[in-house]
Amino acid sequence: MNRMRMTTPVLAAAGLSLWAAAACGGATNQSDVSAAAATPRPTLTTAVRGNLGEVLTDGQGRTLYHFLPEKDGNVSCTGSCATIWPPLLVPASASQKQSSGLPGTVGVVTRPDGGTQVTYDEWPLYTFSGDGRPGDVTGQGIAGEWFAQTAQTPVDQDNDHDGTAPPTPSPAAAPGPTAAPAPLPPAGQAPVPAPPPAVPTARPAFNDGDADNRGGASDGDGNG
């Protein structure tokens, strides 16, 4: 059995999510947003939804969801998407941040179609057209991107709650190898100079290296 608690008005005035006519292709326009502002103000409520624990609901008890691609409040669900997942809207004059008594931060974001949408910990909030009655949570996990908004959201890597991480700096290029310096002589010892190149010994023209050049009898070759 669903248990409702912590009913908390969070914004000064509001509209419920909009349903576009099928003949218009499901797009939400400015006149729709204006009409939404005249409807009763929404409240954020928490309710227990089975193993999901405590999740956010609107004033009618409908489960509220967030869309994973909309990290940091970047709204991308418009047109026909917003027909299936109606956004939780408020008047444009609503405060950017509200004290709701909930553990997370309630705020608003301006949608590309001109509406002002309620956010929770920077996640824009939606209901699901497939939830037939209060207490339903049939939108949980659809396409691996739609999830019921829990009242408690963990702090992420950039110290907020919207599931994003700070950019990772590019690693610096490793320095190239350097040549080893020549070894120095021991202290107090002068460097040893390199030996001079060898100079070949000139041989006299008459010395042909035969027997009469080594003390033997002349062999008559004229090289004695």
Q: What is the DSSP string of 56-94?
A: EE-TT-PBPEEEGGGGGG-----THHHHHS-B-EE-TTS
In a domain, 22, yes or no: yes
Please indicate, yes or no, if residue 165 is contained in any of the structural domains.
Answer: no
| 175 domain-assigned | no
What are the phi and psi torsion angles at 49 (to 5°)? -120, 80
Distance in angstroms (rounded) separating the CA atoms of residues 215 and 210: 10
What is this structure's pTM? 0.55
Task: Answer whether residue 223 is part of any domain.
Answer: no
Parent domain of 47:
4-148
- Residue 179 has which token pair? 């040549």
Per-residue pLDDT of the chain (224 residues; tens, 9 = 90+): 444 444 444 443 333 333 333 333 344 444 444 444 444 455 788 999 988 999 999 989 999 999 999 988 999 999 999 999 999 999 887 765 555 678 999 999 999 999 999 999 999 999 999 999 999 999 999 999 999 999 988 776 555 555 554 455 556 666 667 777 767 767 767 667 777 777 766 665 556 666 666 666 666 666 65
Residue 121, both tokens = 């910990």
Q: Is residue 182 part of a domain?
A: no
What domain count does the chain have? 1
Sign of the dihedral defined by the CA atoms of residues 7, 8, 13, 16, in that order: negative
SS3 at position 50 = helix
- Residue 151, C-beta contacts closer than 8 angstroms, at least 6 positions apart: 6, 46, 54, 55, 56, 102, 103, 104
Residue 10 lies in a domain: yes
H helix count then E strand count, the chain? 2, 10
Length of the chain (residues) = 224
